Structure 1
Amino acid sequence: MPPSPLPSPAHDAGPSAPSLPLHRHPGLVAFLCARTASSFSGCVQAVAVGWQIYALTHSTTALALVGLAQFLPMAGLLLPAGHAADHFNRRLIAVTCQCIEAFSALFMAIAAFGGWTAPWMIYTMVMVFGAARAFEMPCQQTFLPSLVPAHVFPRAAAVSSSLFQAAAVTGPSLGGLLYGAGAGTCYLVCAAGFACACMGTLRIRLIHAPRPRVPLSLATFVEVMHFLRARPDMLGAISLDLFAVLLGGATAMLPVYASDILHAGPLGLGLLRGAPAIGAVLCSLVLIWKPLNRHAGRHMFVAVAIFGVATVVFALSRSMAVSIIALAVLGAADVVSVVVRGALVQLRTPDSMRGRVSAVNMLFIGSSNQLGEFESGMVASLAGPVGAVLLGGVGTLLITAGWIRMFPTLWHLDRLDDITPD
C-alpha cells in the first residue's frame, strides 16, 4: 500500500530535521517527470504557434491576440478550477487536462500536415489549451507540498524549477529546429509530450481524501481574498510578479526580434526563447546547492529589479550574443521570485484552501504572462517592438520601487524553511 502523503506541512519535521535525498520521497520523481514533459511540450508549442501565426499574418497584433486567446479562458475558469481542486480528485483533474492538451496538439499537427491551418484555428487551439491549463495548474501546484516535508520544500522547489527550466531550454531550441521540418512536426512532438505527462501524473502517489462538497459561490473566493489580505507578504509577492512580468515581459516580441531585428530565423527564435531558461537552470542549481533561506524578501526585490534592467538591455540590443545574455540574466532573476512566491503560497496555505489560493496565484501568473504578451503586442503596434520592450523594463523598475514601500513585511521576510500554515 503506498504511503499516505502528509496532509499539510504543519505535520512535518522542523527546519533542523535531516534532509533525505529527494528521490526517496514517494511520488516526487513521477511528479517531476510529468511536470517536465508538460513544460517541454508547452515550450515547443509556443515556438510553433508564435512563428506560424506571424508567418501567416506578419502582424504584431496577431501575436498579441495569441496571448489574449490563452488568457481569457484562464481568467474565466481558474477560480472555478481552484474550487474543483479543493473538492475533487486533483490527480484525475490534471490527467484529464493533459489528455485534452495532447489531443488538441494532435489536431493541429494533422491540420499543419494537411496544409489547411488558418489563424482562427490557432486561436481556437490556444483557447482550448488555456482552458485545460486553467484546471491543470492549480492541481499541479498542490502536489509538491503533499509529496515532501516542509523542511525539504525549498530544495524540492529548486529541483522542480531547474527541471522546468531545463525543459524551457531544450523545448524552444528543439522547437526552432523542428519548425524547419514544418509546424506539424512540432505539434506532433507536443502531443507525445503531453501524453507522457499524463502517464507520469497517473504514477504520482497521492491519496484523495474526499471533503464535504461546498457549492461554488462568491463566498468561497471572498474567503480566499480575506486570507491573502491578512498576509501582506504573500499578497505582495504574488502581485509583484503580476505587474513586473505584465510590464517587463519581452517574450511576445521574440518572433519580431528574431525575424526583423536580429535576423536570426526560426533557429534564432528557439535560442532566444531558450535563453531565459538557461539562466534559470543555472540559478536553480545554485539554489539547490545553497537554498534561499535568509533575507529571502530582499533577494526577491533585487532579483525583480535585475529582471527590469535585463529587459532594458535586451530592448536596446542589436547583437544576438548580447540579447541571449540579457535574456539569460532575466531568466535567472525570475527563478528567485518563483521560489520565494512558491514557498509562501504553498507552505503558508492550509491544504483545505490550497487549490483556491493556487488558482488565484496562477491567475496572477497567467495574467502577467498572457496579458503581458497582449500588452506588448498592442504597445508595439503603436511604439514599435523596441519601444514596447523598453517601456516594459522601465515600468518593472518603477513597480519594484513602489512595492518595497507598499509591502515592507515582504522586504523583511527572512527564512523560507520554517514557514508553516497560518
Structure 2
Amino acid sequence: MRKYMIIWVGEVASTVGSALTSFALGVWIYERTDSVSLLTLNMLMYAVSSLVVLPLAGVAADRWNRKFVMVLGDFGVALCSLVVLLLATSGSLQIWHAYILTGASGAFGTFQWPAYKAAIPLIVPKEHLARASALSQVGDGLAELAGPFIAGALYVMSEVGLKGILLIDFATFAFSTLILIIVPIPRHKTAETTAETPASVIGDLRLGWQYIKQRPGLLALLGYFAVFCFFQEFTYPLSQPLLFETASPDAAGAAMSKMAIGMFVGIGIMTIWGGPKRRIHGILIPGILSGLAIALAGLRPSLTLITIGGFGYFTLLPIAEGSDQALWQTKVEEAMQGRVFAIQSAITVAVRPITLLLAGPLADHIFEPIMQPDGLLAASVGQIVGVGPGRGLGLFIVILGLLSAITSLAAYLYPHIRHVEQDLPDAQISVEAPIESRSSYASESI
C-alpha cells in the first residue's frame, strides 16, 4: 500500500485545505451580505456544479488515464484557489466571483473523485481495499473536526485572514498535484468502443446503468443506498438546531467535536481490523446500529444522549462506507468502475438538495408544533421524547433513525443483497505499464 499512502497524504492535505477555504469564504460572504440566502446560494453552486459534472467524471475515469483525471481535478481546484487569492489580494473580489469560482472548484473536485476511487484497486491489494477505503475518509474527518476551528482562528488573525487561508489552500492542492505527478499509477484496461457502444457521455452512462441493472444484487444494493441515504441526509441540517435547542453554543461546539472523534475511532478500527470477510455485513449491520444511534440522539433533551448517539454514528460510518466501497471495487469490472461510482455518487449529490429544502419546513411547520405543550402529540409521544422547543426536532430525528435501521434490516433480509458477494464473482484487475510522465496522460480520449 506504499503508493496509496503517499497519494493519500496529498489528498488529505487538499481536503483539509478546501475545508478551510469553504469556511472562510462563507464567513466573508456573510460579513458582506448579512444574508443566509446568499450564503446558502454559494453552497448550492457547489452542489449543482458537482451534480452536473458527475456523469462526465465517471465517463472520463473509464475512458481516460485515471492518473491524468486526478491530476486535472487537483490542478483545476488549485487554479480556482489561486484566482480567488489574486482577486482578494488586489481588492477586486466580489460576491459573484465567489459563486463562480466555488462552482468551478466543485466541478474540478468532483471530476477527479470517481477516478480516485477507481484507481485504488490498481495500487492496493484486494485484501486491503476496506482499509484503504476507510483511510480515504480521514480527510473528511479532519475537515469536519478541525476545519471550522482552524479556519475561524486564522480568519480573525490580521496577518493571515482570508488571503492567508487561500494561500494555504492553494499550497495543499499544489502539493497534492505534485504527488500525483510523481507517483506512478498503473493504467487500467479501458472499455472498447464498438458500433453498439459508441464513445459518447450518454452512451457510456447508459452502459454503466445497464451494467448495474444486469446484476440484481448490485441494483438492489444501490436501491438500498438511495433510500438509506435519503433518511440519513435529513439529519445533517437538523443536528445543529437540535444541539442549539439543548445546550449553549460553546457546549454544543464541544459536543460536536466529541462526536467527530468517533469518525477517527471508526477509521482506526477499520485500518487495524480491515472489516468483516463478508463485506455486506460491514455495510448493513453498521447501518442498523447507526440508525439506532441517530434515534438515541433525538430521544430526550439531553446533551449526553446526543453526544453518545452522534459518537456512535460517526464511529460506525467509516466501517459501513469502507466495506461498501471495497465491495463495489471488488465486484465491478475495472473498465466500468468510473461510471458505476459516478452513478453511486450522483445519488448522494442529488438527494442532499432535496433534504435541505424539505427538512426546515417539515421541522418548523409539522414536527415542532405537534410537540409543544398544547400540541397534537404532547400527551402521548411527548411522554417519551418530551415537549417544548426542540422536541419536534428530536421526534423527527428519532423517526429518521428508526427508518434508517428498518431499511438496513429489510435489506439484510432481501436475498439478492445478503448474498451479493456469493452471487457475483470478483472482477479481475488487469493493468498496463505505470504512467510515469505527463506526456502519456492524454493518450486516450472519450
Pair in the same fold by TM > 0.5? yes
- Asked if the contact 1:224/1:356 (under 8 Å) is kept, the reply is yes
Q: CA deviation at 1:138?
A: 0.8
> Is residue 207 from structure 1 mapped to residue 191 from structure 2 by the alignment?
no
- Asked if the contact 2:134/2:321 (under 8 Å) is kept, the reply is no
- Asked if the contact 2:266/2:317 (under 8 Å) is kept, the reply is no
**Comparing 351-360 and 63-72, the one that deviates more:** 63-72
- Asked if the contact 1:249/1:369 (under 8 Å) is kept, the reply is no
**Comparing 88-97 and 225-234, the one that deviates more:** 225-234
> Is residue 196 from structure 1 mapped to residue 182 from structure 2 by the alignment?
no
TM-score relative to the length of structure 2: 0.73
What residue is the counterpart of 2:230 in the other structure? 243
> Is residue 185 from structure 1 mapped to residue 185 from structure 2 by the alignment?
no
Paired with 1:314 and 1:56, the residues of 2 have a C-alpha distance of: 36
What residue is the counterpart of 1:9 in the other structure? none
* Pair 1:256–1:322, CA change in 2 (3 A): closer
Q: Structure 2: where are the runs of 5+ without partners?
A: 369-388, 429-446
Paired with 2:91 and 2:299, the residues of 1 have a C-alpha distance of: 37
* Pair 1:51–1:371, CA change in 2 (3 A): farther
Q: CA deviation at 1:199?
A: 1.2
Q: How do 1:388-407 and structure 2 match up within 5 A? A: 391=396, 394-405=399-410
Larger Rg: 2
Deviations 1:118-138 (A, max 9, x none): 443333222112211221111
Q: CA deviation at 1:32?
A: 1.0
Give the letter for the 1:247 counterpart.
Answer: F
What residue is the counterpart of 2:418 in the other structure? 412
Paired with 1:100 and 1:130, the residues of 2 have a C-alpha distance of: 10
* Pair 1:375–1:194, CA change in 2 (3 A): farther
2:346 to 363, 367, 370: 363
What residue is the counterpart of 1:160 in the other structure? 136
Paired with 2:27 and 2:398, the residues of 1 have a C-alpha distance of: 24
What residue is the counterpart of 1:340 in the other structure? 323
TM-score relative to the length of structure 1: 0.77
- Asked if the contact 2:55/2:201 (under 8 Å) is kept, the reply is no
- Asked if the contact 2:122/2:188 (under 8 Å) is kept, the reply is no
Q: CA deviation at 1:82?
A: 1.0
Give the letter for the 1:107 counterpart.
Answer: V
Paired with 1:222 and 1:330, the residues of 2 have a C-alpha distance of: 35
The alignment yields a C-alpha RMSD, in angstroms, of 3.8
**Comparing 344-353 and 108-117, the one that deviates more:** 108-117
Q: How do 1:22-421 and structure 2 match up within 5 A? A: 22-23=1-2, 27-112=3-88, 117-162=93-138, 164-166=140-142, 168-181=144-157, 182-208=161-187, 211=190, 212=192, 214-229=198-213, 230-233=215-218, 234-236=221-223, 238-250=225-237, 254=240, 262-264=248-250, 277-294=260-277, 296-308=279-291, 310-311=293-294, 326-369=309-352, 372-373=355-356, 375-376=358-359, 391=396, 394-405=399-410, 408-409=414-415, 412=418, 420-421=426-427
Q: CA deviation at 1:102?
A: 1.4
Give the letter for the 1:124 counterpart.
Answer: I
Deviations 1:377-412 (A, max 9, x none): 676786799666863563343144135335624763
Give the letter for the 1:30 counterpart.
Answer: I
Paired with 2:76 and 2:91, the residues of 1 have a C-alpha distance of: 23
Give the letter for the 1:125 counterpart.
Answer: L
- Asked if the contact 1:301/1:404 (under 8 Å) is kept, the reply is yes
Paired with 2:272 and 2:204, the residues of 1 have a C-alpha distance of: 40
Give the letter for the 1:360 counterpart.
Answer: I
- Asked if the contact 1:91/1:139 (under 8 Å) is kept, the reply is yes
* Pair 1:223–1:415, CA change in 2 (3 A): closer
* Pair 1:193–1:361, CA change in 2 (3 A): same
Q: How many residues align?
A: 393
What residue is the counterpart of 1:18 in the other structure? none
Secondary structure of 1:421's aligned partner: coil
Secondary structure of 2:275's aligned partner: coil
Q: CA deviation at 1:274?
A: 5.4
Give the letter for the 1:76 counterpart.
Answer: V
What residue is the counterpart of 1:3 in the other structure? none
Q: CA deviation at 1:329?
A: 3.1
* Pair 1:327–1:405, CA change in 2 (3 A): closer
Paired with 1:412 and 1:315, the residues of 2 have a C-alpha distance of: 30
Give the letter for the 2:173 counterpart.
Answer: F
**Comparing 63-72 and 162-171, the one that deviates more:** 162-171
- Asked if the contact 1:262/1:320 (under 8 Å) is kept, the reply is no
* Pair 1:126–1:94, CA change in 2 (3 A): same
Paired with 1:106 and 1:376, the residues of 2 have a C-alpha distance of: 36
Q: CA deviation at 1:420?
A: 1.4
Paired with 2:311 and 2:90, the residues of 1 have a C-alpha distance of: 37
- Asked if the contact 1:98/1:136 (under 8 Å) is kept, the reply is yes
Q: CA deviation at 1:289?
A: 1.9
- Percent identity of the aligned residues? 19
Secondary structure of 1:69's aligned partner: helix
Deviations 1:300-345 (A, max 9, x none): 3343344445556667898887766554333222212211220122
Secondary structure of 1:208's aligned partner: strand
